[in-house]
Amino acid sequence: MIERRSFLISGIAFTAAAKSACATPPPPPFSLRGTREQGSLLVGKLVEPGKVMLDGKPLSVSPDGYFAFGFDYDQKAAARLTVTTTRYGLTSNNDLMPVPRTYEVQRINGLPETLVTPPPDIQKRINRENGMIVEARERDTSGIGFAEPFDWPTAGIISSVFGSQRILNGKPKAPHFGVDIAAPEGTAIHAPADGSIVLAEADFYLTGGTTVMDHGHGVFTMYIHQSALKVRVGQAMKRGDLIGLVGKKGRATGPHLHWGMNWFQMKLDPSLSTRTASPSKA
Ligand SMILES: [Zn+2]
């Protein structure tokens, strides 16, 4: 398999400041894996011990040197990654500009009106459920399940891509922050990487059977519209472990898995972090 969209930043290439002083030790080298597009996850690795900051805020670094961050789906400004080595206290600043993307416009008609514009009491329930999902993604844990490329969680056909502007029954709604994989009801969903379960709810209003998995350092994946859950909160997961079954619970017109990825609350495109461009056929 060709390694997808990898690139390496040697600190040397990026740091003008250290260039002039010939006796100074080289600036901290690190590698970054990720497509560097809007909505992509970036996985970094320090070559020697050090500290990492993104736009002035510290990122947690694993004992092996791994760290993670994302580019927002509509990010237009460069992110500044600052790496400082413990050994020499040398700092390199790297301004990383996300490659812009053009997103699709998707019109879906014929949805029950109560799903498109829920009545106030239902909206309260939706807000509460969304709050639980947001809370699940607040933790910054030490796992490094994010460090290796992800597998597709289920077999099937991509029926909706990340970032599409959605017009539901003629009303503009939030973009589609995930990848839909159409598959027969009951198709197995497997963990795409190591991690742990931080939310498992069988019947949310919009999202049906909903599972959130923590892969460490703020990287989360989410599984929506499941007909059955096969995990509970707190469960440790290995790549390939069964998460649940494909369904059409919640706001769905047919059976599919909505697969989401986040860096904390930032919504990312999981299809940019997979080993292969598309899932195998169901
Ligand atoms: Zn979806």
Model pLDDT, residue 118: 86
Q: What percent of the chain has pLDDT over 70?
A: 90
Q: Kindly give the distance from the C-alpha atom of residue 67 to the centroid of ligand 1, in angstroms, as a whole number.
A: 28
Could you tell me which residue, 24 or 31, shows the higher pLDDT?
A: 31
- For 225, the token pair is 């519209």
Q: What's the sign of the alpha-carbon dihedral 242, 219, 99, 14?
A: negative
Q: Kindly give the distance from the C-alpha atom of residue 151 to the centroid of ligand 1, in angstroms, as a whole number.
A: 18
Model pLDDT for residues 189-213, shown as the tens digit of each residue: 999 999 999 999 999 999 999 999 9
Q: Kindly give the distance from the C-alpha atom of residue 8 to the centroid of ligand 1, in angstroms, as a whole number.
A: 32
Model pLDDT, residue 30: 92
Model pLDDT, residue 24: 65
Model pLDDT, residue 136: 98
Model pLDDT, residue 110: 87
Model pLDDT for residues 110-163, shown as the tens digit of each residue: 888 877 888 999 999 999 999 999 999 999 999 999 999 999 999 999 999 999
Q: Kindly give the distance from the C-alpha atom of residue 224 to the centroid of ligand 1, in angstroms, as a whole number.
A: 8
Model pLDDT, residue 26: 65
Model pLDDT, residue 145: 98
Cα first-last separation, the chain: 21
Model pLDDT for residues 162-183, shown as the tens digit of each residue: 999 989 899 888 899 999 999 9
Q: Kindly give the distance from the C-alpha atom of residue 178 to the centroid of ligand 1, in angstroms, as a whole number.
A: 6
- For 4, the token pair is 């997808």
- E strands, 109-240, are 157-160, 165-168, 171-173, 179-182, 188-190, 195-204, 208-214, 219-226, 228-229, 236-237
Q: Kindly give the distance from the C-alpha atom of residue 244 to the centroid of ligand 1, in angstroms, as a whole number.
A: 16
Angle (nearest 5°) at CA 132 between 127 and 137? 125
Model pLDDT, residue 19: 45
Could you tell me which residue, 91 or 13, shows the higher pLDDT?
A: 91
What number is the average pLDDT over the span 264-273?
98
Q: Kindly give the distance from the C-alpha atom of residue 179 to the centroid of ligand 1, in angstroms, as a whole number.
A: 6
Mean pLDDT of the chain: 90
Q: How confident is the model at residue 25 (pLDDT cuts 50, 70, 90)?
A: low
Q: Kindly give the distance from the C-alpha atom of residue 207 to the centroid of ligand 1, in angstroms, as a whole number.
A: 9
Q: Kindly give the distance from the C-alpha atom of residue 87 to the centroid of ligand 1, in angstroms, as a whole number.
A: 46
Could you tell me which residue, 16 or 29, shows the higher pLDDT?
A: 29
What number is the average pLDDT over the span 5-15?
43
Q: Kindly give the distance from the C-alpha atom of residue 85 to the centroid of ligand 1, in angstroms, as a whole number.
A: 41
Domains of the chain: 6-96 (2.60.40), 105-272 (2.70.70.10)
Residue 10 has pLDDT above 60, yes or no: no
Q: How confident is the model at residue 29 (pLDDT cuts 50, 70, 90)?
A: confident
User: What distance in Å separates the CA atoms of residue 39 and residue 98, rounded to the nearest whole number?
Assistant: 9
What's the chain's length in residues? Answer: 282
Ion ligand 1 — residues with CB < 5 Å: 178, 180, 258
Could you tell me which residue, 10 or 209, shows the higher pLDDT?
A: 209
User: What distance in Å separates the CA atoms of residue 41 and residue 61, rounded to the nearest whole number?
Assistant: 15
Lowest mean pLDDT among 214-218, 222-226, 277-281: 277-281
271 φ/ψ angles, rounded to the nearest 5 degrees:
-70, -10
Q: Kindly give the distance from the C-alpha atom of residue 119 to the centroid of ligand 1, in angstroms, as a whole number.
A: 22
Q: Kindly give the distance from the C-alpha atom of residue 234 to the centroid of ligand 1, in angstroms, as a whole number.
A: 25
Q: Kindly give the distance from the C-alpha atom of residue 28 to the centroid of ligand 1, in angstroms, as a whole number.
A: 40
Q: How confident is the model at residue 33 (pLDDT cuts 50, 70, 90)?
A: very high
Q: Kindly give the distance from the C-alpha atom of residue 39 to the centroid of ligand 1, in angstroms, as a whole number.
A: 15
Q: Kindly give the distance from the C-alpha atom of residue 22 to the centroid of ligand 1, in angstroms, as a whole number.
A: 54
pTM for the model stands at: 0.89
